[in-house]
Amino acid sequence: MFKKVLIANRGEIALRINRACHELGVATVAIFSDADRQSLHVRHADEAFCVGPGPVMRSYLNIPNIISAALISGCDAIHPGYGFLAENARFAEIAADHGLTFIGPKPAVINAMGDKATAKRLMREAGVPTTPGSDIVASVDEARAVSEKIGYPVLLKATAGGGGKGMRAVTGPQELPTAFATAQAEAEASFKDGRMYVEKLMPNPRHIEVQVLADEHGGVVHLGERDCSVQKPSHQKLIEEAPAPVLDPAIRARLHAIATTATRAVAYTNAGTLEFLVSGSDVYFMEMNTRIQVEHPVTELIYGVDLVKEQIRIAAGEALGFSQDDLHPHGHAIEVRVNAEDPQNNFAPAAGTLSTVVFPGGPGIRVDTHIYGGAIVPPFYDSMLAKIVAVGRTRESAILRMERALGETRIEGVKTTVDFCRELMNEPEFRAGGIGVGWLPAILARRAAAV
Amino acid sequence: MFKKVLIANRGEIALRINRACHELGVATVAIFSDADRQSLHVRHADEAFCVGPGPVMRSYLNIPNIISAALISGCDAIHPGYGFLAENARFAEIAADHGLTFIGPKPAVINAMGDKATAKRLMREAGVPTTPGSDIVASVDEARAVSEKIGYPVLLKATAGGGGKGMRAVTGPQELPTAFATAQAEAEASFKDGRMYVEKLMPNPRHIEVQVLADEHGGVVHLGERDCSVQKPSHQKLIEEAPAPVLDPAIRARLHAIATTATRAVAYTNAGTLEFLVSGSDVYFMEMNTRIQVEHPVTELIYGVDLVKEQIRIAAGEALGFSQDDLHPHGHAIEVRVNAEDPQNNFAPAAGTLSTVVFPGGPGIRVDTHIYGGAIVPPFYDSMLAKIVAVGRTRESAILRMERALGETRIEGVKTTVDFCRELMNEPEFRAGGIGVGWLPAILARRAAAV
Amino acid sequence: MTEDVIAARARALAGALTEAGFARLRVRDGDIEFELRRAVQPGATIPAPVPPVATDAEKPSARRDDLVASDVVGIVRLTRPVVVEGLDLDGDRELAYVETLGIRNPVRSRGAGRITAVFVTEGQPVEYGQPLFAIER
Amino acid sequence: MTEDVIAARARALAGALTEAGFARLRVRDGDIEFELRRAVQPGATIPAPVPPVATDAEKPSARRDDLVASDVVGIVRLTRPVVVEGLDLDGDRELAYVETLGIRNPVRSRGAGRITAVFVTEGQPVEYGQPLFAIER
């Protein structure tokens, strides 16, 4: 096991990793920007280094300063969390060059899965069903040819894309030139990579993903699926749950089987997530996230497995301590992302000082957060303030528990998604389960029209 | 099911009950004293009534005002929590007289179990092993005769006793007259009942208790045992866990069997706890608590059962939704009581304003609390500020988790037991498990001598 | 009396005062006397971290009147002839009673004065400490 | 009552007063009477709920000196001749460099002045923004 781990992240995930390290008896080193000097992740770590000013390029993405902090403090491993450098193969390589274990998959796998078009090709070769579509399309004309073959509507996607950037829905050929140009420009601006591909656009599919763990000795298990279909119009997840409700057991079993097959096929190691679109009985591989996900707690709560500890153990060379037969989910878990955003105003992010912070507690409630009364929300980073997770014996009890937990939550000083998500808990379609990714945008459109 | 429940309590347990009610779709009415106007239990309830000034006799023990609040607000039931009126049979009767369901056992059972000597006699009659000792002793002479029969050391106990009051250890006949007089005087002052009895004093026994649930249709189950042997010199529990570590499986099975037998024998209904002293292979019934216990969350975490919801369902006349065969514990849970007390000064209680309040979170952590940053700790009430509960797959992982959770906890403004309990997590004897009730007093004595 | 108790009392009194909208409160309990005056601009002062629980009592103006509050939880029954604003009292009289579990708890004017506010109506439920009447002495 | 006790009481009362947002508090307990009045601007008195995190950097004195801080994370290497307190610099010079992954990041005086403090020693690890030298201009 490692002696000391540098946590190359901030916010709740930095705390999450710090917790796993401390429970494993591993010392921790935090990094922080000038804007995060008062953050809990700094206080809870055993050591902490300021690596730059507020803007991410100069701090949380500042590879030399981060690696230097790890070396100076005598770390033997780096945990990247999610976002920032988590899927940066170059960072993983540099860490390795300096004798630091990167807690994640091998750089080559990060690279292959990070390139969406390559990932799809590899998965197709492994027999995994992927969305009908193209490899890289070099021009509008190529895009038009593919689109006509697979049929409109289609989705133009940047191969380096993520978080909805460099993505455009196209309903017919006349929209294609503009959509292609703007999506490509966005991709170039965001990822310095303007390569595009085309995919069949599903009508309101469900977003269902499967969690896997793979050690370096050939051990591969899945930890079931998560339903992340409640997404903002920007395609960002807002509410996640496990298991996926009203899912045909045959489809569930197929998703799990595909996930472990694919994990083995690409020689994947560490924790990973395979994202699928599910539409009726059709299942299509979308992408693989080569890191821990924001929504991992819902899986932890129903499987009783600490995924971040497992990541660290795997990276330290340990074999998985359990097999697929040992893993049985109990109950149902739901996560709500508490973001500093205004749901009445297109989820515009907010920054400021939090005057009041009261989180829920009691049975079946888990809170992962870095905020506290008096904390400052800097303008530089992701707007997520906390994750509130509720677990119950049944989906209904988990929803009721989440509803009361959100009712107990008081965050004052910035607008948040708390009350909005509480309302969503009472939407009949959400209660029924099985909604698609178009559900929340449709609700928002309906509300906007009503005003 | 009830429509509206009055919660006749304050602090974390009032919140706990509020949570259970809301998750059951039941409206709630809080009561509060002038000193608790800003308390979270007032904010989270659907309605709230001030029932008196700070001192408990005029507010939380003010039966007419509490019953009146329940009637005015249209409640159909009252949950008493623990402490205050929870084991007051007269209160339960008055509630019933006014058409309000008391969420707890029947008044006659509360009465029988509340009188320690009667409870022991009833249990003996049901074949439950009780500590060798006497019924009521009317004089020092009677006490001396019994003590000589059962052998010193003995414990003089008030039949109405609780919280260590009216209790004296006696090592030989010469100590008896003074001990009898002072214990009796204390009992008379505290409980207006000076009746005493004598019990064999065990050398450093373990305090192990069994949780039971019994419905009004004959359904009785146990939910395993809790080890509450980490007690302050005042006999107040400080750290509890479930299951009891290093316990012979035969003794465990015997405790469970005795508990359900006894529950049936006294026609007990609702949630209850049978407390035992365990010394080697000897098991002795001590008392039965006819209410929810402070430490109930450790049981909830390993059994996945919401005990307060079950209390409410049982009181509403529902049959238990599970049988003994459905109940299987998973993992290990530990609870630490975060009290506003100074462990360096005989746990002297403290009051004041809390400047900083940061609770732990993340996997396996449950927090039950009524405090928040800026909250006031009034001088009138129990010093418990919060319960931090950690659950893990094994006892070791739960202890490591608790250690890191207490490390994350920051409460400033009053002295607390947080750091002290964190140190205890590292004591080799605690780690090994199986300590007796004399363990913590011995540690404290050792530390005091070292200063 | 320890600092903690003093502080707790002051806080409780301050809460009652703010809620009732009055500027000054003096309480004597045995040989202990409390007096609280409200700051000039209460709006500008530190907000309580938790918003106060709303009560049904209307906010009277900031005159230096005596507040007559309920000391039980129950239902208000106004004594006839019913007290109205502007009424002059020439001495101690029963203004109302609060019914709690069938028991009448009388509410008296505790001396002469002019009724400047009636905060409750017949049959209204009231809690402990809830203002019922204001009297200008 | 000793001065200590008086001071302790005053502090406790002041806390309660600030919290409640009131301007004056008078308490009489037996033959002891306390009166506290708050300063004019209560809004400015709110304490931060969380104390700032301590950093390892020594606190420079409150003179109006220029602080030269590290803008990388690395190991300090003092440039020879080694800079000492009191040294006069007649222009811009390299005072040290901070080594980060084998790269030398020079630290310069950015002009003339007198070295009034050296906060680091040879081989010391430093973080971003950590003061290295103070220079009186």
What would the mean pLDDT of A207-231 be, rounded to a whole number? 98
Residue type, B152: Y
Q: Which residues contact C73 (CB under 8 A, 6 or more apart)?
A: B49, B50, B51, B64, B65, B66, B68, B69, B72, C100, C125, C126, C127, C128
Confidence class of residue A364 from pLDDT cuts 50, 70 and 90? very high
Residues in chain B: 451
Calculate the alpha carbon distances from B18 to A327, B13, B44, B78, B310 in Å.
34, 8, 7, 12, 14
* CB pair distance less than 8 Å for A361 and B365: no
**Which residues sit opposite A411 in a β-bridge?**
A357
Q: Are D28 and C32 in contact (CB under 8 A)?
A: yes
Taking the C-alpha atoms of residue B348 and residue D16, their distance in angstroms, rounded to an integer, is 22
Asked whether the predicted pLDDT for residue D99 surpasses 70, the reply is yes
Is the omega angle on the peptide bond into residue B107 within 30 degrees of 0, that is, cis?
A: no
Whether residue A393 and residue B304 make contact (CB cut-off 8 A), yes or no, is yes
B410: annotated active-site residue? no
Which chain A residue is nearest to residue C47, measuring alpha carbons? A355
Are residues A374 and B373, on separate chains, in Cβ contact within 8 Å? Answer: yes
Q: Which residues contact A423 (CB under 8 A, 6 or more apart)?
A: none
- The CATH number, out of the four listed (3.40.50.20, 3.40.80.10, 3.40.50.10900, 3.10.20.740), of the domain defined by the range B4-103: 3.40.50.20
Cβ neighbours for B265, distance < 8 A, ≥ 6 positions apart? B122, B123, B125, B126, B127, B128
Give dist(CA B176, CA B141) in Å, integer.
9
| D114 has a pLDDT exceeding 80 | yes
d(CA B93, CA B95): 5
Q: Is C23 an interface residue toward D (CB < 8 Å)?
A: no
Which residue of D56, D72, D97, D127 to mutate against A (max A Cβ within 10 Å)?
Answer: D127
Could you tell me the two tokens for D137? 């201009």
Distance in angstroms (rounded) separating the CA atoms of residues B363 and A15: 11
Residue pair A278/A225 in contact by the 8 Å Cβ criterion: no
Q: CA B199: distance to chain centroid?
A: 21
- The rounded distance, in Å, linking the Cα atoms of A381 and A370 is 13
| pLDDT number for residue C14 | 52
Domain with CATH 2.40.50.100 in chain C: 42-136
Torsion of CA B281, B284, B290, B292, to 10 degrees: -30
Boundaries of every domain in chain A: 4-103, 132-200, 206-450
Question: What confidence tens digit (pLDDT) does each residue in D72-98 have?
Answer: 999 999 999 999 999 999 999 999 999
Give which of A137, A305, A144, A314 is closest to A218, Cα–Cα: A314
Pick from C8, C50, C125: CB nearest B379: C8
Q: Given CB atoms, is B300 within the 8 Å cutoff of chain A?
A: yes
d(CA A319, CA A21): 18
Chain B residues with a Cβ under 8 Å from any Cβ in chain D: 353, 355-356, 358, 373-374, 376, 410, 412
C-alpha atoms less than 13 angstroms from C-alpha of B130 in its C-beta half-sphere = 22
**Phi/psi of residue B53, each to 5°?**
-75, 180
Q: What's the token pair of residue C23?
A: 């500027």
The confidence score (pLDDT) of residue C33 equals 52
Q: What are the pLDDT digits (tens) for B203-220?
A: 899 999 999 999 999 999
The amino acid occupying position D54 is A
Provide the CA A356 distance to its chain's centre, in angstroms: 28
- The answer to whether B335 contacts chain A (CB < 8 Å) is no
C1, pLDDT greater than 70: no
Non-local (6+) Cβ contacts of B376 within 8 A are: B35, B38, B352, B353, B354, C8, C11, D19
The first and second tokens of residue C26, run together, are: 């003096």
For the record, the structure tokens of B221 come out as 């189950």
* Residue contact C39–D42, C-beta within 8 A: yes
| pLDDT category of residue C94 using cuts at 50, 70 and 90 | very high
**Do B388 and B240 contact (CB within 8 A), yes or no?**
no
Closest-CA distance, B358 to chain D, in angstroms, reads: 9
DSSP element (H, E) containing A289: strand A282-289
Ramachandran angles phi, psi of B93, nearest 5°: -65, -45
Rounded Cα distance between D11 and D24, Å, is 14
Find the length of chain C.
137
Residue D65 reports pLDDT greater than 70 = yes
Dihedral sign, Cα of residue A209, residue A215, residue A219, residue A223: negative
To the nearest whole Å, the CA of C76 is away from the closest chain D CA by 30
- CB–CB contact B355 D15 (8 Å): no
User: Residue C72: its chain B contacts at CB < 8 A?
Assistant: 64-65, 68
Q: Is D113 left (phi over 0), alpha (psi -120 to 50) or beta?
A: left
Name beta bridge partners: D26.
Answer: C35, D35
Three-point CA angle A376, A380, A386, nearest 5°: 55
Could you tell me if residue B116 is left (phi over 0), alpha (psi between -120 and 50 degrees) or otherwise beta? alpha
State the Cα–Cα distance between residues B59 and B33, nearest whole angstrom: 6
Interhelix angle A89-97/A63-72, rounded to 10 degrees, is 30
* DSSP H helices in A151-233: 176-191
Of A51, A72, A375, the CB nearest to D75: A72
pLDDT values of chain B reduced to their tens digit, one per residue, 451 residues: 999 999 999 999 999 999 999 999 999 999 999 999 999 999 999 999 999 999 999 999 999 999 999 999 999 999 999 999 999 999 999 999 999 999 999 999 999 999 888 999 999 999 999 988 888 899 999 999 999 999 999 999 998 877 678 889 999 999 999 999 999 999 999 888 999 999 999 889 999 999 999 999 999 999 999 999 999 998 899 999 999 999 999 999 999 999 999 999 999 999 999 999 999 999 999 999 999 999 999 999 999 999 999 999 999 999 999 999 999 999 999 999 999 999 999 999 999 999 999 999 999 999 999 999 999 999 999 999 999 999 999 999 999 999 999 999 999 999 999 999 999 999 999 999 999 999 999 999 999 998 7
Contacts D56 to A, Cβ<8 Å: none
Type of residue numbered C133: F
- Chains contacting chain B through 3 or more C-beta pairs under 8 A: A, C, D
Length of chain D (residues): 137
Q: Residue B362: closest CA among chain A residues belongs to which residue?
A: A368
A118 has pLDDT over 80: yes
CA–CA distance, B98 with B70 (Å, rounded to integer): 10
CB of A399 closer than 8 Å to CB of A431: yes
| pLDDT for the residue C60 | 43
Of A365, A27, A41, A339, give the one whose Cα is nearest residue B363.
Answer: A365
Average pLDDT over residues D34-61: 38
Please report the pLDDT score of residue C20 as a whole number.
41
As a whole number of angstroms, the distance between CA A259 and CA A213 comes to 10
Percentage of chain D exceeding pLDDT 70: 53
Q: Are D70 and D127 in contact (CB under 8 A)?
A: yes
Indicate whether A273 pLDDT > 80: yes
Contact D50 B356 (CB under 8 A): yes
Can you tell me the distance from the alpha carbon of C99 to that of C96, in angstroms, rounded to the nearest whole number?
Answer: 10
Report the chain A residue with the minimal C-alpha distance to residue C48: A356
Tell me the chain D residues in contact with residue B356 when contact means C-beta distances shorter than 8 Å: 49-51
Report how far residue B425's alpha carbon sits from residue D100's, in angstroms, rounded to the nearest whole number. Answer: 40
Alpha helices in A24-161 (DSSP H): 40-44, 63-72, 89-97, 107-114, 116-125, 140-150
Which among D55, D68, D56, D54 is positioned nearest to D117, based on CA atoms?
A: D68
A367-409 confidence digits (pLDDT tens): 999 999 999 999 999 999 999 999 999 999 999 999 999 999 9
Catalytic residue among A10, A291, A337, A395: A291
Nearest-5° Cα angle at B155, B152 to B156: 120
CATH topology (fold) of C42-136: OB fold (Dihydrolipoamide Acetyltransferase, E2P) (2.40.50)
Q: Are C94 and C79 in contact (CB under 8 A)?
A: yes
- Among D70, D76, D128, the residue to mutate for chain A (most A Cβ within 10 A): D128
| pLDDT at residue C6 in the model | 52
Kindly tell me if the per-residue pLDDT of C7 is higher than 90: no
List of chain A residues whose C-beta atoms are within 8 Å of the C-beta of residue B292: none
Q: How far is CA A432 from the centre of its chain?
A: 25
By the CB < 8 Å criterion, does A148 face chain B? no
Residue D42: pLDDT band with limits 50, 70, 90? very low
CATH 3.30.470.20 is held by the domain A206-450: yes
In this complex, which of B297, B331, B372 lies closest to A363 when CB atoms are compared?
Answer: B297
Residue C9, pLDDT score: 53
| Torsion sign over Cα A6, A8, A12, A17 | negative
**Phi and psi angles of residue A295, each rounded to the nearest 5 degrees, phi first:** -85, 15
Tell me the H-state helices in B167-225.
176-191
The 10 Å CB-count burial string (b at 16+, else e) for A350-364 is beeebbbbbbbbbbb
pLDDT for D63: 53
Query: Which pLDDT tens digit goes with each residue over C9-60?
Result: 555 555 444 444 444 444 444 445 555 544 433 222 223 333 333 344 444 4
> Average pLDDT, whole number, for chain A?
95
Task: State the SS3 of A226-237.
Answer: EEEEEECCCCCE
Q: Looking at domain A132-200, does it have CATH number 3.30.1490.20?
A: yes
